[in-house]
Amino acid sequence: MRIFSGIQPTGRKHLGNYIGAIRGYLDGQERGDPAIYCIVDLHATGVAYEPDGLPAYVLDTAAMLIAAGLDPQRCILFRQSDVREHTELTWLLCSVTPYGDLQRMTQFKDKSAREQQLVRTSLFLYPVLMAADILLYRTDEVPVGDDQRQHIELSREIARRFNSTYSEVLVEPAGVIPEVGARIMDLQEPKKKMSTTGGTEQGTVRVLDAPDVIRKKFRSAVTDSGREVLRAADKPGVTNLIDILSVATERTPEEVERAYDGAGYGDLKRDVGDAVAELLAPVRARYLELRADEPELVRLLATGADKARAASAPTLAAMYERMGFVRL
């Protein structure tokens, strides 16, 4: 069972990243053979970014993942740009990716609408690079958040088209999306996903926020009309809090609803804040230790890149052969 997922090194990671993606990485580490996790710095170039800050963001993300529980001895953890096979495969996959499919990608439409001065071709080709990230390792499972469903389906379609055109080489990956917590919402605008760049400051809980800051953000979380603590389409704020508490306390949403039968929203917000603060406190403490040793983080990523190159080489060689290239 090969498991792969990637995470961008942009911004400070928030609770939605932790619940929707990073928890899945830890599960994959237990089941993957191997489990492969990539800090996708090349994807950051699809929109305006800070070149001077990118190296530090990569190390921030590496420290965060290790602090959350990834063990570089038990998985492959590396920086995308260190493994040139990712960009090489992207070009090969462009030959079997319809232009119209890329035009229909929701994230391209949303992000390009926000780019005032320059809509980059790299943003348009983002889904092909993501497919290359996944398909390069003949991945079986991809732990992702709910917003990545469309990208996973495109990766599957690209694999099918390549295999039907050139013969069976690539594996069609399956997206693995959490049943609870796949889409954590902004605490102040609960109809919008919690976001690194587009969310509200008070509604975005950072993994590195101090416990008191976390509790304060939950105390001020927007709820809904009525007093019933239950999940419903017309209760996005309360539904979000129930989902978060369910994950943080390892209970089902139904168990959380029963526990707060007759209680008010104030009790719920207080308890969610306490549970999340407790959940993230050890991650924050471990991150601060790891981030202080930059040479060690660089070494771990370099070791991971060596393993990734070895794992990816057979796929790329087979694809070149099937496509009619003679490599010297």
Whole-structure pTM value: 0.89
Task: With CA atoms as reference, report the closest residue to 199 among 3, 14, 2, 5.
Answer: 14
SS (H, E, C) 186-235: CCCCCCCECCCCCCCCCCCCECCCCHHHHHHHHHCCCCCCCCCCCCCCCC
Better-predicted residue by pLDDT, 46 or 285: 285
- pLDDT at residue 24 is higher than 90: no
Helices (H), the chain: 15-17, 23-31, 54-68, 85-94, 99-103, 106-114, 121-124, 126-135, 149-166, 211-219, 236-249, 253-259, 265-291, 294-322
CATH topology of domain 211-288: Tyrosyl-Transfer RNA Synthetase (1.10.240)
**Whole-number Å distance between alpha carbons of 196 and 235:** 24
- At 74, the pLDDT band (50, 70, 90 cuts) reads very high
pLDDT in tens, 185-217: 999 999 998 987 777 899 999 999 999 999 999
pLDDT at site 46? 82
Task: For residue 300, give the amino acid letter.
Answer: L
pLDDT at site 134? 97
pLDDT at site 313? 95
SS3 of residue 79 by DSSP = strand
Where in the chain are all domains bearing CATH 1.10.240.10?
211-288
- pLDDT at residue 139 is higher than 90: yes
pLDDT at site 179? 76
276 alpha carbon, distance to own chain's centre:
19
CATH number for region 3-181+293-322: 3.40.50.620
Where in the chain are all domains bearing CATH 3.40.50.620?
3-181+293-322
pLDDT at site 226? 81
